[in-house]
Structure 1
Amino acid sequence: MTENTQIEQRYNKWIILLSVVIPIAVAVLFFVKIPNATPLPFLPPIYATINGITAVLLVIAVVAVKNGKLKLHENLMKCAIGCSLLFLVMYIAYHMTTPSTSFGGEGIIRYVYFFILLTHILLSIAIIPLVLITYVRALAQRFDRHKKIGKITFPLWLYVAVTGVVVYLMISPYYNF
Protein backbone atom coordinates (compact mmCIF):
# COMPACT_ATOMS: atom_id res chain seq x y z
CA MET A 1 0.00 0.00 0.00
CA THR A 2 1.46 3.36 -1.00
CA GLU A 3 1.73 6.35 1.31
CA ASN A 4 -0.82 8.22 -0.81
CA THR A 5 -3.33 5.40 -0.45
CA GLN A 6 -2.74 5.41 3.30
CA ILE A 7 -3.46 9.14 3.42
CA GLU A 8 -6.78 8.55 1.66
CA GLN A 9 -7.71 5.69 3.96
CA ARG A 10 -6.75 7.67 7.08
CA TYR A 11 -9.26 10.37 6.14
CA ASN A 12 -12.08 8.00 5.10
CA LYS A 13 -13.44 7.69 8.64
CA TRP A 14 -13.51 11.48 8.99
CA ILE A 15 -15.26 11.85 5.64
CA ILE A 16 -17.94 9.36 6.68
CA LEU A 17 -18.32 10.92 10.13
CA LEU A 18 -18.61 14.50 8.84
CA SER A 19 -20.91 13.45 5.98
CA VAL A 20 -23.34 11.99 8.52
CA VAL A 21 -22.91 14.37 11.46
CA ILE A 22 -23.14 17.69 9.58
CA PRO A 23 -26.54 17.10 7.93
CA ILE A 24 -27.99 15.59 11.12
CA ALA A 25 -26.66 18.47 13.23
CA VAL A 26 -28.05 21.05 10.80
CA ALA A 27 -31.44 19.31 10.77
CA VAL A 28 -31.57 19.12 14.56
CA LEU A 29 -30.25 22.64 15.11
CA PHE A 30 -32.78 23.98 12.61
CA PHE A 31 -35.47 23.12 15.17
CA VAL A 32 -33.51 24.26 18.23
CA LYS A 33 -34.05 27.90 19.14
CA ILE A 34 -31.85 29.69 21.63
CA PRO A 35 -34.22 31.16 24.24
CA ASN A 36 -34.25 34.97 24.36
CA ALA A 37 -31.65 35.14 21.59
CA THR A 38 -31.33 38.33 19.62
CA PRO A 39 -32.56 37.59 16.09
CA LEU A 40 -29.90 37.82 13.38
CA PRO A 41 -31.90 39.06 10.37
CA PHE A 42 -28.80 40.55 8.74
CA LEU A 43 -27.27 37.09 8.10
CA PRO A 44 -29.25 35.79 5.07
CA PRO A 45 -27.94 38.40 2.61
CA ILE A 46 -24.42 37.81 3.94
CA TYR A 47 -24.54 34.05 3.60
CA ALA A 48 -26.25 34.33 0.22
CA THR A 49 -23.35 36.54 -0.88
CA ILE A 50 -20.92 33.94 0.45
CA ASN A 51 -22.71 31.34 -1.69
CA GLY A 52 -22.27 33.63 -4.69
CA ILE A 53 -18.58 34.09 -3.89
CA THR A 54 -18.22 30.31 -3.60
CA ALA A 55 -19.73 29.87 -7.06
CA VAL A 56 -17.33 32.41 -8.55
CA LEU A 57 -14.36 30.79 -6.79
CA LEU A 58 -15.34 27.37 -8.14
CA VAL A 59 -15.54 28.60 -11.73
CA ILE A 60 -12.25 30.49 -11.52
CA ALA A 61 -10.60 27.44 -9.89
CA VAL A 62 -11.68 25.19 -12.75
CA VAL A 63 -10.40 27.71 -15.30
CA ALA A 64 -7.12 27.91 -13.36
CA VAL A 65 -6.56 24.16 -13.34
CA LYS A 66 -7.42 23.89 -17.03
CA ASN A 67 -4.75 26.54 -17.67
CA GLY A 68 -2.16 24.64 -15.61
CA LYS A 69 -2.22 27.08 -12.68
CA LEU A 70 -2.28 24.36 -10.04
CA LYS A 71 -1.28 26.45 -7.01
CA LEU A 72 -3.95 29.05 -7.86
CA HIS A 73 -6.48 26.21 -8.24
CA GLU A 74 -5.47 24.80 -4.85
CA ASN A 75 -5.77 28.17 -3.12
CA LEU A 76 -9.12 28.96 -4.73
CA MET A 77 -10.51 25.58 -3.70
CA LYS A 78 -9.36 26.10 -0.11
CA CYS A 79 -11.11 29.48 -0.17
CA ALA A 80 -14.28 27.85 -1.56
CA ILE A 81 -14.23 25.27 1.23
CA GLY A 82 -13.67 28.06 3.76
CA CYS A 83 -16.61 30.00 2.33
CA SER A 84 -18.81 26.92 2.58
CA LEU A 85 -17.84 26.46 6.23
CA LEU A 86 -18.50 30.14 6.95
CA PHE A 87 -21.89 29.81 5.25
CA LEU A 88 -22.71 26.78 7.40
CA VAL A 89 -21.88 28.57 10.65
CA MET A 90 -23.96 31.62 9.71
CA TYR A 91 -26.85 29.50 8.46
CA ILE A 92 -27.00 27.59 11.75
CA ALA A 93 -26.67 30.78 13.81
CA TYR A 94 -29.50 32.40 11.86
CA HIS A 95 -31.89 29.48 12.19
CA MET A 96 -31.14 29.01 15.90
CA THR A 97 -31.92 32.64 16.72
CA THR A 98 -34.46 33.82 14.19
CA PRO A 99 -38.00 32.64 13.40
CA SER A 100 -38.39 30.81 10.09
CA THR A 101 -39.74 32.65 7.09
CA SER A 102 -42.40 31.08 4.88
CA PHE A 103 -42.34 31.55 1.14
CA GLY A 104 -45.32 33.66 0.16
CA GLY A 105 -45.34 33.22 -3.61
CA GLU A 106 -48.36 31.67 -5.28
CA GLY A 107 -49.06 29.64 -8.37
CA ILE A 108 -46.28 28.21 -10.53
CA ILE A 109 -43.56 30.27 -8.80
CA ARG A 110 -44.32 28.43 -5.55
CA TYR A 111 -43.63 25.09 -7.25
CA VAL A 112 -40.47 26.47 -8.84
CA TYR A 113 -39.26 27.77 -5.45
CA PHE A 114 -39.88 24.48 -3.66
CA PHE A 115 -38.26 22.48 -6.48
CA ILE A 116 -35.14 24.66 -6.30
CA LEU A 117 -35.15 24.54 -2.48
CA LEU A 118 -35.57 20.75 -2.35
CA THR A 119 -32.84 20.06 -4.91
CA HIS A 120 -30.60 22.59 -3.16
CA ILE A 121 -31.06 20.88 0.22
CA LEU A 122 -30.62 17.34 -1.10
CA LEU A 123 -27.53 18.21 -3.12
CA SER A 124 -26.05 20.22 -0.23
CA ILE A 125 -26.14 16.98 1.76
CA ALA A 126 -24.64 14.96 -1.09
CA ILE A 127 -21.91 17.52 -1.73
CA ILE A 128 -20.35 17.12 1.72
CA PRO A 129 -18.68 13.74 1.10
CA LEU A 130 -17.95 14.64 -2.52
CA VAL A 131 -16.03 17.79 -1.55
CA LEU A 132 -14.19 15.97 1.23
CA ILE A 133 -13.23 13.02 -0.97
CA THR A 134 -12.13 15.33 -3.79
CA TYR A 135 -10.02 17.38 -1.37
CA VAL A 136 -8.43 14.34 0.27
CA ARG A 137 -7.52 12.86 -3.11
CA ALA A 138 -5.70 16.07 -3.97
CA LEU A 139 -4.06 16.09 -0.53
CA ALA A 140 -2.91 12.50 -1.13
CA GLN A 141 -1.64 13.55 -4.57
CA ARG A 142 -3.94 11.03 -6.24
CA PHE A 143 -4.61 13.50 -9.03
CA ASP A 144 -6.04 10.93 -11.46
CA ARG A 145 -8.73 10.03 -8.90
CA HIS A 146 -9.08 13.69 -7.81
CA LYS A 147 -9.83 14.76 -11.37
CA LYS A 148 -12.31 11.94 -11.87
CA ILE A 149 -14.44 12.80 -8.83
CA GLY A 150 -13.87 16.53 -9.35
CA LYS A 151 -15.84 16.27 -12.59
CA ILE A 152 -18.83 15.16 -10.49
CA THR A 153 -18.21 17.41 -7.49
CA PHE A 154 -17.78 20.66 -9.43
CA PRO A 155 -21.18 20.91 -11.16
CA LEU A 156 -23.07 19.74 -8.07
CA TRP A 157 -21.24 22.14 -5.76
CA LEU A 158 -21.73 24.95 -8.26
CA TYR A 159 -25.46 24.16 -8.40
CA VAL A 160 -25.70 24.24 -4.59
CA ALA A 161 -23.85 27.56 -4.42
CA VAL A 162 -25.93 29.21 -7.18
CA THR A 163 -29.27 27.88 -5.95
CA GLY A 164 -28.40 29.13 -2.46
CA VAL A 165 -28.40 32.64 -3.93
CA VAL A 166 -31.57 31.97 -5.92
CA VAL A 167 -33.43 30.64 -2.87
CA TYR A 168 -32.41 33.75 -0.92
CA LEU A 169 -33.54 36.08 -3.70
CA MET A 170 -36.87 34.29 -4.00
CA ILE A 171 -37.65 34.30 -0.26
CA SER A 172 -36.15 37.66 0.70
CA PRO A 173 -39.36 39.66 -0.01
CA TYR A 174 -41.10 37.59 2.67
CA TYR A 175 -38.74 38.31 5.55
CA ASN A 176 -40.58 40.05 8.40
CA PHE A 177 -37.84 42.31 9.73
Structure 2
Amino acid sequence: MSEVDHVKAKKYNKWVVVLSIVIPLVVAALFGVNLRSLGYDVEPLTFLPPIYATINGFTAVLLIGAVMAIKSKNVVLHENLMTTAIYCSVVFLVLYVAYHMTSDSTKFGGEGVVAYIYYFILITHIILSIIIIPFVLITYVRAITNDIERHKKIAKITFPIWLYVAITGVVVYLMISPYYT
Protein backbone atom coordinates (compact mmCIF):
# COMPACT_ATOMS: atom_id res chain seq x y z
CA MET A 1 0.00 0.00 0.00
CA SER A 2 1.37 3.41 -0.97
CA GLU A 3 1.84 6.25 1.51
CA VAL A 4 -1.12 8.10 -0.08
CA ASP A 5 -3.31 5.02 0.35
CA HIS A 6 -2.12 4.66 3.95
CA VAL A 7 -3.13 8.28 4.71
CA LYS A 8 -6.51 7.69 3.04
CA ALA A 9 -7.01 4.51 5.08
CA LYS A 10 -6.40 6.38 8.35
CA LYS A 11 -8.98 9.01 7.35
CA TYR A 12 -11.51 6.37 6.32
CA ASN A 13 -10.93 4.33 9.47
CA LYS A 14 -12.23 7.23 11.57
CA TRP A 15 -15.43 7.11 9.50
CA VAL A 16 -15.63 3.34 9.93
CA VAL A 17 -15.63 3.74 13.70
CA VAL A 18 -18.15 6.59 13.66
CA LEU A 19 -20.55 4.87 11.25
CA SER A 20 -20.25 1.51 13.03
CA ILE A 21 -21.51 3.19 16.20
CA VAL A 22 -23.91 5.78 14.78
CA ILE A 23 -25.82 3.55 12.32
CA PRO A 24 -27.04 0.99 14.89
CA LEU A 25 -27.84 3.73 17.42
CA VAL A 26 -29.82 5.79 14.91
CA VAL A 27 -31.67 2.72 13.61
CA ALA A 28 -32.50 1.63 17.17
CA ALA A 29 -33.70 5.11 18.08
CA LEU A 30 -35.80 5.51 14.95
CA PHE A 31 -37.13 1.97 15.23
CA GLY A 32 -38.68 3.00 18.54
CA VAL A 33 -40.35 6.06 17.03
CA ASN A 34 -43.80 5.51 15.58
CA LEU A 35 -44.93 8.72 13.91
CA ARG A 36 -48.60 7.71 14.05
CA SER A 37 -48.37 7.09 17.81
CA LEU A 38 -46.91 10.59 18.16
CA GLY A 39 -49.99 12.07 16.47
CA TYR A 40 -48.62 12.60 12.98
CA ASP A 41 -51.05 11.85 10.19
CA VAL A 42 -48.84 9.60 8.10
CA GLU A 43 -49.97 6.74 5.95
CA PRO A 44 -48.60 3.38 7.16
CA LEU A 45 -46.03 2.16 4.66
CA THR A 46 -47.31 -1.41 4.82
CA PHE A 47 -46.27 -2.10 1.22
CA LEU A 48 -42.55 -1.89 2.13
CA PRO A 49 -41.76 -5.30 3.74
CA PRO A 50 -41.89 -7.32 0.50
CA ILE A 51 -39.81 -4.61 -1.18
CA TYR A 52 -37.06 -4.58 1.40
CA ALA A 53 -37.13 -8.38 1.62
CA THR A 54 -36.59 -8.45 -2.15
CA ILE A 55 -33.69 -6.03 -1.75
CA ASN A 56 -32.18 -8.42 0.82
CA GLY A 57 -32.55 -11.28 -1.66
CA PHE A 58 -31.00 -9.17 -4.41
CA THR A 59 -28.12 -8.31 -2.07
CA ALA A 60 -27.47 -12.02 -1.49
CA VAL A 61 -27.37 -12.61 -5.25
CA LEU A 62 -25.01 -9.65 -5.70
CA LEU A 63 -22.68 -10.99 -3.01
CA ILE A 64 -22.55 -14.43 -4.60
CA GLY A 65 -22.01 -12.87 -8.03
CA ALA A 66 -19.22 -10.69 -6.66
CA VAL A 67 -17.40 -13.71 -5.23
CA MET A 68 -17.79 -15.53 -8.53
CA ALA A 69 -16.50 -12.45 -10.39
CA ILE A 70 -13.37 -12.12 -8.28
CA LYS A 71 -12.66 -15.86 -8.50
CA SER A 72 -12.80 -15.37 -12.28
CA LYS A 73 -10.40 -12.43 -11.87
CA ASN A 74 -13.00 -9.95 -13.11
CA VAL A 75 -12.07 -7.16 -10.69
CA VAL A 76 -14.23 -4.47 -12.31
CA LEU A 77 -17.37 -6.60 -12.14
CA HIS A 78 -16.52 -7.56 -8.56
CA GLU A 79 -16.15 -3.89 -7.60
CA ASN A 80 -19.42 -2.94 -9.30
CA LEU A 81 -21.36 -5.78 -7.69
CA MET A 82 -19.97 -5.02 -4.24
CA THR A 83 -20.72 -1.30 -4.57
CA THR A 84 -24.26 -2.15 -5.65
CA ALA A 85 -24.62 -4.54 -2.68
CA ILE A 86 -23.62 -1.71 -0.32
CA TYR A 87 -26.13 0.64 -1.94
CA CYS A 88 -28.83 -2.04 -1.66
CA SER A 89 -28.08 -2.45 2.02
CA VAL A 90 -28.41 1.31 2.56
CA VAL A 91 -31.72 1.40 0.67
CA PHE A 92 -32.93 -1.60 2.68
CA LEU A 93 -32.09 0.18 5.92
CA VAL A 94 -33.90 3.38 4.91
CA LEU A 95 -37.03 1.45 3.87
CA TYR A 96 -36.93 -0.73 6.98
CA VAL A 97 -36.77 2.30 9.27
CA ALA A 98 -39.48 4.11 7.25
CA TYR A 99 -41.79 1.10 7.62
CA HIS A 100 -41.26 0.84 11.36
CA MET A 101 -41.71 4.59 11.87
CA THR A 102 -45.11 4.52 10.16
CA SER A 103 -46.51 1.08 10.93
CA ASP A 104 -47.23 -1.03 13.97
CA SER A 105 -44.86 -3.93 14.48
CA THR A 106 -46.18 -7.29 13.36
CA LYS A 107 -46.09 -10.08 15.91
CA PHE A 108 -45.09 -13.57 14.82
CA GLY A 109 -48.07 -15.88 15.23
CA GLY A 110 -46.43 -19.26 14.85
CA GLU A 111 -46.13 -21.67 17.75
CA GLY A 112 -43.98 -24.53 18.93
CA VAL A 113 -40.83 -25.50 17.07
CA VAL A 114 -41.59 -23.04 14.26
CA ALA A 115 -41.59 -20.16 16.75
CA TYR A 116 -38.23 -21.26 18.16
CA ILE A 117 -36.79 -21.47 14.66
CA TYR A 118 -38.21 -18.05 13.76
CA TYR A 119 -36.86 -16.33 16.86
CA PHE A 120 -33.45 -18.00 16.49
CA ILE A 121 -33.21 -16.77 12.90
CA LEU A 122 -34.54 -13.32 13.84
CA ILE A 123 -32.18 -12.84 16.79
CA THR A 124 -29.09 -14.04 14.91
CA HIS A 125 -30.12 -11.87 11.95
CA ILE A 126 -30.41 -8.76 14.15
CA ILE A 127 -27.16 -9.36 16.04
CA LEU A 128 -25.18 -10.12 12.89
CA SER A 129 -26.73 -7.16 11.03
CA ILE A 130 -25.14 -4.91 13.65
CA ILE A 131 -21.83 -6.79 13.68
CA ILE A 132 -21.56 -6.75 9.88
CA ILE A 133 -21.51 -2.95 9.61
CA PRO A 134 -17.85 -2.43 10.60
CA PHE A 135 -16.83 -5.55 8.66
CA VAL A 136 -18.38 -4.25 5.43
CA LEU A 137 -16.90 -0.80 5.96
CA ILE A 138 -13.40 -2.10 6.78
CA THR A 139 -13.50 -4.51 3.84
CA TYR A 140 -14.56 -1.69 1.53
CA VAL A 141 -11.90 0.70 2.84
CA ARG A 142 -9.19 -1.90 2.35
CA ALA A 143 -10.34 -2.37 -1.23
CA ILE A 144 -10.49 1.32 -2.15
CA THR A 145 -7.14 2.03 -0.47
CA ASN A 146 -5.56 -0.82 -2.42
CA ASP A 147 -4.73 -2.87 0.69
CA ILE A 148 -5.69 -5.98 -1.25
CA GLU A 149 -4.04 -8.68 0.88
CA ARG A 150 -5.74 -7.43 4.05
CA HIS A 151 -8.95 -6.89 2.04
CA LYS A 152 -8.93 -10.57 1.04
CA LYS A 153 -8.40 -11.69 4.63
CA ILE A 154 -11.30 -9.73 6.08
CA ALA A 155 -13.53 -10.41 3.05
CA LYS A 156 -13.38 -14.11 3.95
CA ILE A 157 -15.05 -13.19 7.25
CA THR A 158 -17.32 -10.44 5.91
CA PHE A 159 -18.81 -12.42 3.03
CA PRO A 160 -20.44 -15.31 4.94
CA ILE A 161 -21.79 -13.04 7.68
CA TRP A 162 -23.22 -10.53 5.19
CA LEU A 163 -24.67 -13.35 3.07
CA TYR A 164 -26.30 -14.87 6.19
CA VAL A 165 -27.81 -11.49 7.11
CA ALA A 166 -29.15 -10.98 3.58
CA ILE A 167 -30.64 -14.47 3.31
CA THR A 168 -32.10 -14.53 6.81
CA GLY A 169 -33.72 -11.16 6.12
CA VAL A 170 -35.72 -12.87 3.39
CA VAL A 171 -36.45 -15.89 5.58
CA VAL A 172 -37.70 -13.70 8.45
CA TYR A 173 -39.98 -11.85 6.01
CA LEU A 174 -41.35 -15.10 4.56
CA MET A 175 -42.00 -16.51 8.02
CA ILE A 176 -43.75 -13.40 9.36
CA SER A 177 -45.57 -12.36 6.17
CA PRO A 178 -48.71 -14.41 6.91
CA TYR A 179 -49.19 -12.33 10.05
CA TYR A 180 -49.13 -8.90 8.41
CA THR A 181 -52.54 -7.22 8.65
RMSD: 0.8
Match of 2:165 in 1: 160
Instruction: Specify every segment of 5 or more residues in structure 2 that has no aligned partner in the other structure, as ranges.
Output: none
CA distance in 2 between partners of 1:7 and 1:148 (Å): 20
Give me the whole-angstrom Cα distance separating, in 2, the residues matched to 1:158 and 1:9.
Answer: 27
How far apart are the structure 2 equivalents of 1:95 and 1:78? Answer: 26
**Alignment-derived partner of residue 14 in structure 1:** 15
Match of 1:54 in 2: 59
Moved more, 29-38 or 98-107: 29-38
The partner residue of 1:94 within 93, 96, 99 is: 99
- Percent identity reads 64
| Post-superposition offset of 1:16 | 0.7
Question: In the alignment, residue 21 of structure 1 is paired with which amino acid?
Answer: V
Name the aligned partner's letter for residue 133 of structure 1.
I
Alpha-carbon distance in 2 for matches of 1:168, 1:33:
20
Corresponding residue to 1:85 among 69, 83, 90: 90
> Partner letter of residue 29 of structure 2?
V
Tell me the equivalent position of 2:120: 115
Alpha-carbon separation, structure 1, partners of 2:42 and 2:110: 29
Partner of 1:106: 111
1 CA distance for matches of 2:34 and 2:118? 25
Structure 1, unpaired ranges of 5+: none
Task: Name the residue aligned to 1:175.
Answer: 180
Question: Could you list the per-position Cα deviations for residues 90-141 of structure 1 after superposition, in whole angstroms to 9, with x for gaps in the alignment?
Answer: 0000000000000000001101000000000000001100000000000000
Residue 32 in 1 paired to residue 33 in 2? yes
Displacement of 1:6 = 1.3
- Number of residue pairs the alignment of both structures matches: 176
1:143 pairs with 2:148: yes
Q: Kindly state the Cα deviation for residue 36 of structure 1 after the two structures are TM-superposed.
A: 2.0
